[in-house]
Amino acid sequence: MRYKDDWPETKRRLTALWNRERLDRPCLAIRAPLTVANPTPVPTPADCEAQWLDPAYRVAAALREMETTWWGGEAIPSSLLMAGWMMCLGGDPKFDASTIWFETRTVDFHRPSPFRHDPDSPWVRKYRALLLAMCDAAGRNGFLVGKPGGLPANDLISMHMGTEEFLFALVDHPDWMAAAICDGARDQVRARRELQALMRERHDFWYGNAGWMAFWAPEPYNATQSDVSCMLSPEMFDRFVLPELDIYGAEHGALWYHLDGGDARQHLPRLLSLPYLRVVQYVPAPCEPPNGPGHLEMYRQIQAAGKIVHIQVPWQNVEPLVRNLDPALLMLDTWCASRDDGERLLAQSIGWAQTAPSAK
Which CATH number do you get for residue 156? Answer: 3.20.20.210
Per-residue pLDDT band at 359 (split at 50, 70, 90): low
The tens digit of pLDDT for each residue in 30-74 reads 999 999 999 999 999 999 999 999 999 999 999 999 999 999 999
The tens digit of pLDDT for each residue in 304-347 reads 999 999 999 999 999 999 999 999 999 999 999 999 999 999 99
> Residue 337 — φ and ψ, nearest 5°?
-75, -25
Domain count, the chain: 1
Average pLDDT over residues 350-360: 83
Measure the CA–CA gap between 79 and 227, rounded to whole angstroms: 23
φ/ψ bin of 155: left (φ > 0), alpha (ψ from -120 to 50), beta (otherwise)? alpha
Q: Evaluate whether residue 110 is within a structural domain.
A: yes
The residues with which 29 forms a beta bridge, in sequence order, are: 73, 333
Q: Evaluate whether residue 244 is within a structural domain.
A: yes
Q: Evaluate whether residue 278 is within a structural domain.
A: yes
Q: Evaluate whether residue 2 is within a structural domain.
A: no
Q: Evaluate whether residue 193 is within a structural domain.
A: yes
Residues 6+ away with beta carbon under 8 Å from 193: 251
Give the alpha-carbon dihedral of 248, 251, 256, 257, to 10 degrees.
Answer: 0
CB 243, CB 182: distance < 8 Å = yes
Looking at residue 360, what is its pLDDT? 43
pLDDT value at 22 more than 80: yes
Question: Could you list the residue range(s) of the whole structural domain that residue 212 is in?
Answer: 46-68+76-302
Average pLDDT over residues 118-134: 97
pLDDT value at 221 more than 80: yes
Q: Amino acid identity of 310? A: H
Measure the CA–CA gap between 2 and 201, rounded to whole angstroms: 19
Q: Evaluate whether residue 321 is within a structural domain.
A: no
> Residue 126 — φ and ψ, nearest 5°?
-65, -40
Measure the CA–CA gap between 198 and 125, rounded to whole angstroms: 13
Q: Evaluate whether residue 251 is within a structural domain.
A: yes
The tens digit of pLDDT for each residue in 231-275 reads 999 999 999 999 999 999 999 999 999 999 999 999 999 999 999
Q: Evaluate whether residue 279 is within a structural domain.
A: yes
